[in-house]
Amino acid sequence: MPAGVHIARTVRSEILAWARQAEGREIGGLLLGRVRGEGERALVRVEAALLAQGADSVGSSIRFTPELLAELGTRAKKEYPAFRVVGWFHTHSGLGAFLSGYDAAVHKEHFPEPWQVALVLDTELEREALYIREGAEMVPVGSYASSGAGSETSSGMPTLPHARYRLARPGRLLGVLLLAALVLMFALTGRAWWNRRHSTGAGVQTPVPAGSVAPEPVPAAEEKVAEAPSDSNAPLGKGQGAPAGQKYIIRPGDTLWGISERFYGKGSFYQEISRLNRLTNPRLVYPGEEIILPEKKTGTGPSGTAVPPPQTPPGA
């Protein structure tokens, strides 16, 4: 007799699934797995089952013919080349979990090794029994109520330790995870850069609230050079106006209010610039766009209208 028998939960689940498909008809087949040691010191682990399709029923058991066993042996070598035939199984339906005299004769004839086992399951009463060879007799070592398809069956004797699974190449998995982390980091960094690059919306200026004075942006160092007196964009003087037909190229940060204040001394003249250039939206100008500045006549606004006298600041 073996020193210990362990049946994997997947084996029981598969057998019960076959039994449900059989709709009350008894089924049977081979138990496959590994054997460690020999004789009374053998430890048996059942890790797979092979259904004997088309097997004939004989009373409360099934009939194993030489042809059927040969077919099952060929399938076992093909589908589970690393396993050995460690026993067999068959089901009952409402008769109880037991091994009949015919079953014992089948085991003695076709499963002669001392460590080969027989598993009987009653799918209706939800009971099962595991039989092993003790001398010339088959004796049960487990007969108990089933606790569900996901449970594991053991003989109650010392069992084989559970299989421990580990990665064959943990370094490869670590490399893949590291590469994925780097790709994700670069993707997030690139997205943040793209958002910063395009969030300012080149050419879209902040609308100037009606009746308020927009602060003139402070030009960068290179822009200060462009605003030298030789620049065509430079005014004649603060509030002195512009020559007739002078063109002006919009720069980043410009608004019509600021241009009007720079050339004419008052931001309110932006309306004259807008009318002269037929701008549909005077609050929206684009860098690089060219406009024409209206001529300012002495004592008048850009269009010849009288310039209102400056108001005395509060507290003067």
Residue whose tokens read 């598993």: 119
* Residue 311 predicted with pLDDT over 50: no
Q: What structural domains and CATH numbers belong to the chain?
A: 4-154 (3.40.140.10), 205-308 (3.10.350.10)
Distance of CA 136 to the CA centre of its chain: 58
Cα distances (angstroms) measured from residue 272 to each of 3, 134, 177, 276: 105, 113, 64, 6
Tell me which residue has tokens 């003139």: 216
Looking at this protein, which amino acid is placed at residue 273?
A: I
Alpha-carbon distance of 69 to 79, in angstroms, equals 15
The answer to whether 264 and 296 are in contact (CB under 8 A) is yes
Least confident of 24-38, 158-172, 212-226: 212-226
pLDDT band at 101 (very low <50, low <70, confident <90, very high): confident
Is residue 286 scored above 70 in pLDDT? yes
Residue closest to 296 by CA, chosen among 206, 236, 225? 236
Residue 316: pLDDT band with limits 50, 70, 90: very low
Whether pLDDT at 169 is above 80: no
- b/e code 234-268 from CB counts within 10 Å (16+ = b): ebeeeeebbeeebebebbeebbbbbbbbbbbbbbb
More confident residue, 149 or 170: 170
25 or 255, which is more confident?
Answer: 255
SS3 for 119? strand
pLDDT greater at residue 167 or residue 220: 167
pLDDT of residue 255: 92
> Please, how many CA atoms are within 13 Å of residue 83, restricted to the half-sphere of its CB?
22
When pLDDT is cut at 50, 70 and 90, the band that residue 46 belongs to is very high
119 in Cβ contact with 14 (< 8 Å): no
pLDDT at 78: 92
| More confident of the two residues 305 and 26 | 26
Q: Coil, strand or helix: which one is 172?
A: helix
User: The whole model's pTM is what?
Assistant: 0.45
Identify the CA nearest to 265 among candidates 229, 227, 226, 213. 213
